[in-house]
Amino acid sequence: MAEVFIAAAPGEEAQARGLAEALQALGLDVASGTPVEAEIAKTAEESKALVALWSPAAAAAPWVTALGVMAQERKKLISAEYKSGATPELFKTAPKIDLAIRDRNAFKERFQALVTELEKFTTAKAKPEALSDALIKARAAILNPPMTPARKQARTLGVFALGVAVLFALGFGTGRLIQAVRSGTFLVATTQADAAPAQAQTTSATTTPTTPTITAAMLEGETWQASAARINETVATDIKRRAQDGEASAQALACLGHMAGAQGFLPSPTAAREQCDASSEQHNAAGLYYSWVLRRTAPHAGIDEATARGRLAEASRLNWSPAQIDYAQLLAGEASAQSQAEAGRLFLAAAERGDPRGQFFYARWLRDSSAGPRDPTAATPYLERAAERGQVDALHMLATLNRDGIGVPRNEARAKTLYERAAQQNYPASMFNLADMLRSGTEAERTRAIALYSQLACMRDERQIQPMAVARLRALRQSATCR
């Protein structure tokens, strides 16, 4: 099995093959083709990376979608767009490169971006001297028109993808997913699509699941509070039904619902613990992780510290990013060099999968840990990536490095900009530092500083910063009016 597999829609094999040959010219181990039932599970499991070559036809092709879901669950999916904007919504969280562009320089940049993503998975690294030849092959492949009949695009895009996602996200696994594809449960009938495209679209619209899906990727990529906010009465009813049927992922969501008091769920730590226990027994990463969160938020729910920590470690072993970060923070607090090093490894794993919190904590580990280089310069790239996503701790640290000229050239203007972005999220330390930088500036800057100090002066729970803000206002002959 090749390290990289490029999956394309039927009729677009030539495009996938040409792209594979371009990557092979760079020295990468790549194969391509149209996924078929007999090979789909093996391909998803044994390939180190999977590139889905998205077009309208690919988005409507059942086995391309199914293989994409499996690859995304294994965190090895890369979306390459053969037609701009063709990536189904389901896969928007995976790395995406739009190759459907005719400008040579722009295409070169995007092709190189694809290679960079692949090098995160492959054993071999691309040979720079072969880039020119590879670009010619890749561009010729992508610009080559497909032989796909137009009628294949008459299916409503995304209907099947949503159905497959529901199955996989709810713990059905590869076997039952393949059975669902084979049976056509979520597929618009080919005969109807070929014979009457308009009718097929109408029919599919009536059979599209109306209950919003909370996928594993959503749970992993956002805070548990944000995930809980997605639950409404309709979603809650669906979760409860599936949890009662024994679906591990639904039990994890039910745990979350009870823990957060989401719509349709009674706020109950005890009920949350029962659902987390049931999900954890099936080694569901979300359920294991929410057990740890429940212990932190409701210590009397019935999960002891040792059990909670053990489940957190297990979720981390299953590569659940939030668990890796939280478990690494525990390890980072221990004195042993082994624990410190393992914390760095876990922070890095989460960071490389694009988790902004992981990027921040790995940056801090690089700067501060005795097991790391203690080098703020090495930390900066990870802070930049997290700051781009608005991660407030990263914004603050990066602003401070720019203000003080540590690890980066001193740049007070950029420091102000970064502090301002964090201040807009009501991050007290950034608000205070920004106010200190502005109070001796222009009249507008002084006014902004007073406003920031006034906000901080009214934050009664900020026991360190609040008194300092009051003192700053007094020095400026100002006072705060708190409601």
pLDDT > 90 fraction of the chain, expressed in percent and rounded: 64
- The residue with greater pLDDT, 198 or 40, is 40
Confidence of residue 179 (pLDDT cuts 50, 70, 90): low
Distance of alpha carbon 401 from alpha carbon 412, whole angstroms: 10
Distance of alpha carbon 366 from alpha carbon 359, whole angstroms: 10
What pLDDT was estimated at residue 148?
41
pLDDT of residue 125 exceeding 80, the answer is: yes
pLDDT of residue 351 exceeding 90, the answer is: yes
pLDDT of residue 41 exceeding 70, the answer is: yes
**pLDDT digit string (tens) for 56-106?**
888 887 778 888 888 888 899 999 998 888 898 878 788 999 998 767 778
What pLDDT was estimated at residue 184?
44
Task: Please give the helix or strand (H or E) that residue 96 lies within, else none.
Answer: strand 96-98
Which strands sit side by side in the sheet containing 96-98, from one edge to the other? 30-33, 4-7, 49-54, 77-81, 96-98
* pTM score above 0.95: no
Q: What residues contact residue 274 under an 8 Å CB cut-off, 6+ apart?
A: none
pLDDT of residue 185 exceeding 80, the answer is: no
For residues 333-361, give the mean pLDDT: 95
pLDDT of residue 136 exceeding 90, the answer is: no
Is there a contact between 307 and 288 (Cβ–Cβ < 8 Å)?
Answer: no
Confidence of residue 37 (pLDDT cuts 50, 70, 90): low
Q: Which fold has domain 343-423?
A: 1.25.40
Distance of alpha carbon 379 from alpha carbon 384, whole angstroms: 9
For residues 188-210, give the mean pLDDT: 40
pLDDT of residue 393 exceeding 70, the answer is: yes
The one-character DSSP state at 334 is S
pLDDT of residue 166 exceeding 70, the answer is: no
Q: Of the given ranges (76-85, 132-141, 363-372, 468-477), which has the lowest mean pLDDT?
A: 132-141
Domain boundaries, the chain: 4-153, 159-207, 216-318, 343-423, 426-483
How high is the mean pLDDT of the chain?
86
Task: Please give the helix or strand (H or E) that residue 311 lies within, else none.
Answer: helix 305-317
pLDDT of residue 289 exceeding 60, the answer is: yes
For residues 372-394, give the mean pLDDT: 96
Centroid of chain to Cα 177: 23
What pLDDT was estimated at residue 138?
87
pLDDT of residue 227 exceeding 50, the answer is: yes
Confidence of residue 325 (pLDDT cuts 50, 70, 90): very high
DSSP, residue by residue, 381-447: HHHHHHHHTT-HHHHHHHHHHHHHTSSS---HHHHHHHHHHHHTTT-HHHHHHHHHHHTTS-HHHHH
Angle subtended by helix axes 337-352 and 321-332, to nearest 10: 160
- Specify whether the backbone of 75 is left (phi greater than 0), alpha (psi in -120 to 50) or beta: left
**pLDDT digit string (tens) for 405-432?**
999 999 999 999 999 999 999 999 999 9
> Dmax of the chain from CA atoms?
80
Q: Of the given ranges (182-191, 204-213, 368-377, 394-403), which has the lowest mean pLDDT?
A: 182-191
Q: Which CATH number fits domain 4-153: 3.40.50.720, 3.40.50.970, 3.40.50.10140, 3.30.930.10?
A: 3.40.50.10140
The one-character DSSP state at 282 is T
State the residue for tokens 């914004």.
Answer: 395
Confidence of residue 311 (pLDDT cuts 50, 70, 90): very high
CB-count exposure of residue 178 (10 Å: 0-12, 13-18, 19+): buried
What pLDDT was estimated at residue 155?
38
Bridge partner list, 32: 6
Q: Give the residue from 61, 96, 86, 82 showing the smallest Cα distance to 141.
A: 82
**Amino acid at site 112:** Q
What pLDDT was estimated at residue 302?
95
Distance of alpha carbon 23 from alpha carbon 31, whole angstroms: 10
What pLDDT was estimated at residue 172?
42
